[in-house]
Amino acid sequence: MKTSKNYLPLSFFLLVIASCGKDNPVANNITLHFDNTFSSTTIVLGDATSSTATVNTSADGQLHHFSELKYVISNIRLIKADGSEIPYNINDLDNGATVVDHSKPQTLDYILSNIPAGEYRQLKFGLGVRPELNTLDEARFPDFYAKAGANDTQMHWEWGTGYRFTKIEGFYDTDNKQLSIHTGSTVEGTNGEPDTYTQGVDAYRDITLTLPDNAVVGSNAPKITIKADFDKLLSGKTNTITLGEGNATPSTHAAVNMVLFVDNLGGDGSSDISGMFSTGSVEN
Amino acid sequence: MEQIAYDNPEIPLNVPQGFPSLNTSVDKNKPTKYGVELGERLFHEKKFSGNNTISCASCHNQSSAFADNNVQAVGIYGRVGLRNTPPIQNLAFMKFYNWDGNKLTLENQPLVPIITHEEMNSSILEVIGKISAEPEYKDLFRKAFGDENISADRIYRSIAQYEYTLFSVNSKYDKVKRNEGETFTESEARGYQIFQQKCAGCHSTELFTDQSFRNVGFPLNPSTEEAGRARVTGIPADFMRFRVPSLRNAEYTAPYGSFGQFPTLRAVLDYFDDGVLEADNLDPILKENGNRIPMTEQEKDAIIAFIKTLSDHHFVGR
C-alpha cells in the first residue's frame, strides 16, 4: 500500500502531460476562412462610382459589382476520415452560427473551438438557418440575434420573423442600376412533407465540401479556406440570371425570383450540394 | 408569503350560426379569463415600442374595428409602413393573417410589429425588460399563467387569447338574419340582393371573405417590397394577389385596399365599375366580365347601404 501511494503523484503528473501536452492534445481549433470572390479574384466592395471595386461580368454579359456582401453560416459539421460526424453547436446559434460580412475582415475567419483531435476529410454547413431555428428567438439566442440585427448588419427579416440568409447590395449594367438581393425562408412546416407543409419557401441550403487534404486536428490547429464564388450568383450551375426591372431590386424579397438566386448560391439540394462554395486549401 | 391561487376559468368561444370553424391554434391556446385580461392590457401597452409611444392599439383602434383610418400604417417616429392596417375582428375564424397570409397562427404575429423598423422598432427582450419593471404585471402574469414569470411565449399567447375573443357578430345584418326584430330597409334589401350577385363570389360566408388570395387589378403599390401573396409563397401566379378582406365594419375602416388606394367605399365600387388593371393573373371573375364589375349608380347606393348593415356598433363602442 505504501509503495503504490508513493507512485500516485508521479502517475497523476504523467496523465496531465499526456492529455494537455503539446505533443498529443485531445482537441484543438479549426479556423474556417471565407474568401469571397468573383471567380479567382477576391472581391473589393465599392459604391456606384467606385474605381476600385471588383467588377464582374455575368454569363449573359452584364457588368456588376457589390457594395455590401453578407451571409449566414450555421449547422457546421465535420466529417472524420472514418466517416463519423462531429456536429459543431448545430442547435445553438449563439455558439454555432456566424454572419460573414465582407466589409469586416474579422468575420471572414470563424474559429471552431475544441474540435476533437483526428483527421477530417469533409465539411458540411448550411447557408442560412434551418427552419426550426429560424424564428428570431432573441430570448434563446441573444448573441446571434444581436449580431445579426445590428444596424450595420441588418440580417433580420422582420415580416417573416426569420433571419436574412444573404444580403447583397450593389450595381449592375454600365449605368450602375441598383441591385439588391436578399434571401430568407418563409416556409411553414417542412418542404416536401405534405403532412406538415402549408406554405412558403425554404431558402436554407445544406453544403457539402470534400477537403483537398485531410484537416489534421491535434497539435496543429488547421485553417480551411472556403471559397465563395459570387460569380455564381448570376451564372450558376442551376440558373443563368439576367438582371432587370423584375428581379434586381428588393422585389426579390418577394421570393418570386429569390429561389433562382438561392439555388445558385447554395445549390439546389439534390444535384448540386455545394452551390458557390468550394474548398481552396487546408493548412495544417 | 402565501401565494393566492386564482380560479382562471376558460372563456368559451361559441361559434355563431353559419360561421366557419375556429382556427386549429385556438385549441392549443384557449382563452382564459385572466389570459384575455392580460392580453388586453398588453395590447394597449406602449412600452412595446422602442420609445414607449406605440402600442398595438395605436393602429388597431377599437372605434375603427381595430384598424385605423390612415392610408398606410403609421408607427414609431411617424414612420410609414408598407400597407393599410387590417381590422382585428373574428380572427379566431381565419386561416390566414395579414394581407399576404404570411402568418397562419395569431401567436406568431406579435413579434412582427415589435421588431419592425416602421412599427415599434423594439425587441422582445427589451419589451420583457420594461414590463418586468412594472409590479402590476407580475400579478397579471401570475393570475393568467400560475406564476410571475414573464416570457415571450406568454406575451404572444395572452395577446392571441384577447384577439380570439374579439367577435363582431351583432350587426344589423346579424340581427336580421337571426330574426331578432330588425328588418332591412328597401335600399338595404335591394343592396343585399345585388351584393349576392356581384360581390359574394369573393366576399362570401358569414365572415364576408372566402379567405382566398386574388389579384383584382387594383392600383399597384409602388414599393419594390410589395409582391402580395407571392412574397410568401414564391409562386409567380401569386404576384399581387391579396387576401380578400372581410367587409364587416367596413364603414369604419376607410381607406380601402392593401395600401389605402381608395378613400371611400364609393371609390372602390366606381373603380370596379370603370374597369381594373389588366394582369396575367387577374381574377377569372373579372377577366370573364371584361375586367370590370358593371354597376349603376343606384346599385352602388344600395350595395353601400347593405355594407353599412354589417356595422357592429357595440363592437366598435360607438
Instruction: Enumerate the domain spans of chain A.
Output: 25-283
Q: Is residue B232 part of a domain?
A: yes
Q: Determine the pLDDT at residue A11.
A: 46
Q: Measured between alpha carbons, how far is residue B183 from residues A181, B172, B174, B315 in Å?
A: 56, 8, 10, 20
Q: Determine the pLDDT at residue A3.
A: 46
Distance from CA of A186 to the nearest CA of B (A): 6
What is the model's pTM?
A: 0.91
What letter would DSSP give residue B74?
A: B
Q: Determine the pLDDT at residue B5.
A: 65
| Site of grid cell 445549390 | A267
Q: How many A-B residue pairs are in contact by the CB < 8 A criterion?
A: 77
Check CB contact of A250 with chain B, cutoff 8 Å. Answer: yes
Check CB contact of A186 with chain B, cutoff 8 Å. Answer: yes
| Site of grid cell 454547413 | A125
CA distance B125 to B108: 16
| Site of grid cell 441550403 | A205
CA distance B318 to B298: 28
Hey, what's the cell of A35?
A: 474568401
DSSP characters for B178-197? TTSS----HHHHHHHHHHHH
Distance from CA of A229 to the nearest CA of B (A): 25
Q: Determine the pLDDT at residue A8.
A: 45
CA distance B230 to B317: 37
User: Same domain, yes or no, for B272 and B150?
Assistant: no
CA distance A254 to B22: 29
A240 phi, psi to nearest 5 deg: -100, 120
Does residue B306 sit in helix, strand or coil?
helix
Closest by Cβ to B232, choosing from A137, A158, A255: A255
CA distance B219 to B177: 35
User: Same domain, yes or no, for B116 and B208?
Assistant: no
Burial of A226 (0-12, 13-18, 19+ CB in 10 A): buried
Does residue B114 sit in helix, strand or coil?
helix
Q: Determine the pLDDT at residue A196.
A: 86
- Residues 6 or more apart whose Cβ sits within 8 Å of residue A272: A237, A238, A263
User: Same domain, yes or no, for B143 and B120?
Assistant: yes
Cα pseudo-dihedral B262, B267, B270, B272, rounded to 10: 30
B contact test, residue of A136, A143, A199, A202 with most B CBs within 10 A:
A199
Is there a contact between B233 and A137 if contact means CB atoms under 8 Å apart?
Answer: no
Instruction: Tell me which of B134, B164, B194 is where a domain ends.
Output: B164
CA distance A168 to B276: 36
Q: Determine the pLDDT at residue A189.
A: 86
| Site of grid cell 440558373 | A239
Nearest-10 crossing angle of helices B152-164, B124-132: 90
Length of chain A: 284
Closest by Cβ to A251, choosing from B111, B227, B234: B227
Contacts of B233 in chain A (CB under 8 A): 186, 199-201, 255
Closest by Cβ to B115, choosing from A136, A186, A250: A136
Instruction: Tell me which of B111, B129, B164 is where a domain ends.
Output: B164
B contact test, residue of A135, A138, A249 with most B CBs within 10 A:
A138
A contact test, residue of B114, B123, B155, B243 with most A CBs within 10 A:
B123
Does residue B164 sit in helix, strand or coil?
helix
Is there a contact between A200 and B116 if contact means CB atoms under 8 Å apart?
Answer: no
Is there a contact between B124 and A251 if contact means CB atoms under 8 Å apart?
Answer: no
Q: Which domain holds residue B128?
A: 25-164
Q: Determine the pLDDT at residue B136.
A: 95
Which among B112, B257, B73, B164 has a CA at the least distance from the CA of A186? Answer: B112
Facing residues of A116 across strands? A27
Closest by Cβ to B239, choosing from A161, A186, A256: A256
User: Same domain, yes or no, for B143 and B221?
Assistant: no
Check CB contact of A161 with chain B, cutoff 8 Å. Answer: yes
Q: How far apart are the first and last CA of chain A?
A: 47
Work out how many domains chain B is built from and give that number: 2
Q: Is residue B13 part of a domain?
A: no
CA distance A161 to A184: 10
Q: Determine the pLDDT at residue A50.
A: 95
Nearest-10 crossing angle of helices B33-43, B152-164: 100
Does residue B88 sit in helix, strand or coil?
coil
Closest by Cβ to B152, choosing from A139, A156, A201: A139
Instruction: Tell me which of B114, B141, B164 is where a domain ends.
Output: B164
Q: How many other C-beta atoms are found inside a 10 Å radius of the C-beta of residue A46?
A: 17
Q: Determine the pLDDT at residue A257.
A: 79
Is there a contact between B102 and A159 if contact means CB atoms under 8 Å apart?
Answer: yes
Closest by Cβ to A139, choosing from B125, B226, B234: B125
Does residue B268 sit in helix, strand or coil?
helix
- Residues 6 or more apart whose Cβ sits within 8 Å of residue A134: A128, A162, A163, A184, A185, A204
A contact test, residue of B233, B241, B243 with most A CBs within 10 A:
B233
Closest by Cβ to B125, choosing from A142, A160, A251: A142
User: Same domain, yes or no, for B131 and B31?
Assistant: yes
Does residue B145 sit in helix, strand or coil?
helix
User: Same domain, yes or no, for B186 and B288?
Assistant: yes
Instruction: Give the chain A residue nearest B228 (alpha carbons).
Output: A254
A166 phi, psi to nearest 5 deg: -135, 150
User: Same domain, yes or no, for B199 and B311?
Assistant: yes
Whole-angstrom Cα Rg for chain B: 21
Dump strand ranges (E) for chain A: 27-38, 41-42, 56-57, 63-80, 85-88, 98-101, 109-116, 118-127, 156-157, 162-163, 166-172, 177-183, 205-217, 223-229, 277-283
Instruction: Give the chain B residue nearest A255 (alpha carbons).
Output: B234
Q: Is B101 left (phi over 0), alpha (psi -120 to 50) or beta?
A: left
DSSP characters for A22-58? TTS-SEEEEEEEEEEEETTEEP----TT-SSSPPEE-
pLDDT at A41 over 70: yes
Check CB contact of A208 with chain B, cutoff 8 Å. Answer: no
pLDDT at A14 over 90: no
A contact test, residue of B111, B112, B115 with most A CBs within 10 A:
B115
Distance from CA of A247 to the nearest CA of B (A): 10
Q: Is residue B12 part of a domain?
A: no
Write the pLDDT tens digit of every residue in B247-287: 999 999 999 999 999 999 999 999 999 999 999 999 999 99
Q: How many other C-beta atoms are found inside a 10 Å radius of the C-beta of residue B68?
A: 22
Please state whether beta strands A223-229 and A27-38 pair in parallel, antiparallel, or not at all (unpaired).
Answer: parallel
Q: How many other C-beta atoms are found inside a 10 Å radius of the C-beta of residue B6?
A: 14
| Site of grid cell 420594461 | B130
Q: Is B43 left (phi over 0), alpha (psi -120 to 50) or beta?
A: alpha
Instruction: Give the chain A residue nearest B98 (alpha carbons).
Output: A159
Check CB contact of A150 with chain B, cutoff 8 Å. Answer: no
User: Same domain, yes or no, for B178 and B146?
Assistant: no
What letter would DSSP give residue A112?
A: E
Cα pseudo-dihedral B27, B28, B34, B38, rounded to 10: -120
Contacts of B104 in chain A (CB under 8 A): 188, 198-199
Percentage of residues in chain A having pLDDT higher than 90: 77
Average pLDDT of the residues of chain A: 90
User: Same domain, yes or no, for B177 and B311?
Assistant: yes
Instruction: Pick out chain B residues at pLDDT < 50.
Output: 1-2
Q: Determine the pLDDT at residue A24.
A: 72
H or E segment at B213? strand B213-214
What letter would DSSP give residue B219?
A: P
Which among A34, A38, A36, A35 has a CA at the least distance from the CA of A231? Answer: A38
- The answer to whether A237 touches A266, Cβ cutoff 8 Å, is no
Contacts of A255 in chain B (CB under 8 A): 227, 230-234
